[in-house]
Structure 1
């Protein structure tokens, strides 16, 4: 999540086999560096570089993925406990408090994981980095697998410490479109329709990528702003989007945008039930946003990336 923060790419060998640096552990596509340089590799070599199959057998990549696993687990546990405590606290502005604390938590987790794995802790970031060519398909697979496992572990940890009433009321912090509550004349469904929820996922995830993650992807900005500043900005943008999504609809039963499929998957697997209703929205929406962000990157004049 904290892309090129904190350093350059190093030599070609270290990019593949050295300590995993933020988004620079896999070579960038050469046309990002200098489109005037004519390369002569075959299509098979290019495909091999994109797939990066050797990284599936790299112990260092799997070690780096442990940071993604633990980071995502802590993220799920922290965010869910923040949501529960903010809403349960007797305050008039629970959404504001929740958003501020989430922003701080995300920034801290990025600072903790970025030196090891690049600080993705989110399939959205990993998938976007893969589309752009900053990491290989194989590394993306390993990271997303680790993130999903981490989401499950975080949900299991939350289940172990919260009471059954809180677990039922907050669904282990899972991503929901609707909930069903008992009413005077039978069960009543509260929530939001699938279409606006999907659009919220697409729009908020794209804003997240456009407004903050691009700073980490762009080595120039990452170096100019500094590691701590970029991570802080990322956390602030996440907090703002959480605040907007939970207040703009004012719909009881809607948990707000996920922007992180692994965070939504963990509670759904652990608790199940209605958390699977519309669960696809929290994968398809961010996926569409990632593709839209990639198309935006493609049309940017190359000199705005190099200069």
Structure 2
């Protein structure tokens, strides 16, 4: 359902996954200081090129591709765990399976975020990666690599789940994938139950925006991330995800609807492996979160500058666009 985003602050570069290191000051001769100052002035006098803003050099960086491996493995485990939770929650004899499912999802998401964060920034979700790229925390090139890794990981996670469940469970629960509707048996024969694409689209937009606004922005904000600490921030992300899953499944109360996705890669994995009706309305699970990411980015540009504590992100999307003119 979700991944994580980089926690800002501290002595490590959490959002890039590359790690940070503070080098000690060294004694310099006066002429060396003047030369360094001159080089620094030349560096700042030259505008950043379009290729640098896109981070095209990262496409050929071994470190970035190695970091993306954490995104791949993390997303694979996320998909396997979340889809298993969905199936087991509804198999449990209880009057509130969606509540149990939401609590378990909150826990597993928080754990996986904490595990992957030091390596790649712990996105494990195209929604987080895209919003981080728009804000400028990572480059569009790194975002493309991460999203590719997340999609591959989601497919592997769905394949792993398919290998361990029987065909009846796979068919009954659609492999735990993202669904708007299912075909269910009825007194007058099979019928389609669930929600429409319009309702599903609005749920994806609203829930994904709330997810970004209520938890991810805390991680983007230098001030809040440093004050709360990495573990607390990532736990908040997990809790918000669980709450939104519970809200989306409760407000609709529709059988056949698996709840808000908020993670296009996860929805893609099950759809590719299981196929069939999972492709119905699949575009909703991509278009909705994308619109929410753009809306969230616009929000960060509109709020008063004195309340914006994520300055200095050179890959900001507006900067990329301005470099074209």
TM-score by length of structure 1 reads 0.88
Matched pairs, number: 284
Is 1:233 aligned to 2:223, yes or no? no
Is 1:198 aligned to 2:232, yes or no? no
Displaced runs of 4+ in structure 1, greater than 6 A?
A: none
Is 1:19 aligned to 2:18, yes or no? yes
Residue 247 (structure 1) aligned to one of 241, 250, 259: 250
**Deviation for aligned residue 1:4:** 2.4
Residue 164 (structure 1) aligned to one of 164, 167, 177: 167
Equivalent-residue separation in structure 2 for 1:215 and 1:191 (angstroms): 34
**Deviation for aligned residue 1:69:** 0.5
Is 1:52 aligned to 2:51, yes or no? no
Equivalent-residue separation in structure 2 for 1:245 and 1:304 (angstroms): 30
Q: Secondary structure of the equivalent of 2:308?
A: helix
Provide structure 2 residue ranges, at least 5 long, that are not aligned to the other structure. Answer: 21-43, 311-325
Q: Rg: which structure is higher?
A: 2
Q: Secondary structure of the equivalent of 2:148?
A: helix
C-alpha distance after superposition, 1:165-213 (max 9, x if no partner): 0000111111111111233433200010111110000000000000000
Equivalent-residue separation in structure 1 for 2:274 and 2:303 (angstroms): 43
Q: Which moved more, 1:169-178 or 1:287-296?
A: 169-178
The aligned counterpart of 2:112 is 109
Is 1:132 aligned to 2:131, yes or no? no
**Deviation for aligned residue 1:46:** 3.9
Is 1:285 aligned to 2:292, yes or no? no
Q: Contact 1:5–1:226 at 8 Å: present in 2 too? A: no
Q: Contact 1:2–1:230 at 8 Å: present in 2 too? A: no
CA change 1:156–1:6 in 2 (3 A) is farther
Equivalent-residue separation in structure 2 for 1:254 and 1:299 (angstroms): 35
Residue 86 (structure 1) aligned to one of 70, 86, 89: 89
CA change 1:71–1:6 in 2 (3 A) is farther
Equivalent-residue separation in structure 1 for 2:301 and 2:163 (angstroms): 45
Provide structure 1 residue ranges, at least 5 long, that are not aligned to the other structure. Answer: 22-38
Across the aligned residues of Structure 1 and Structure 2, the Cα RMSD in angstroms comes to 1.9
The aligned counterpart of 2:278 is 275
TM-score by length of structure 2 reads 0.84
Residue 216 (structure 2) aligned to one of 190, 199, 213: 213
Residue 75 (structure 2) aligned to one of 72, 81, 86: 72
C-alpha distance after superposition, 1:39-95 (max 9, x if no partner): 6443xx342222111101111101100110011000000011111111111112211
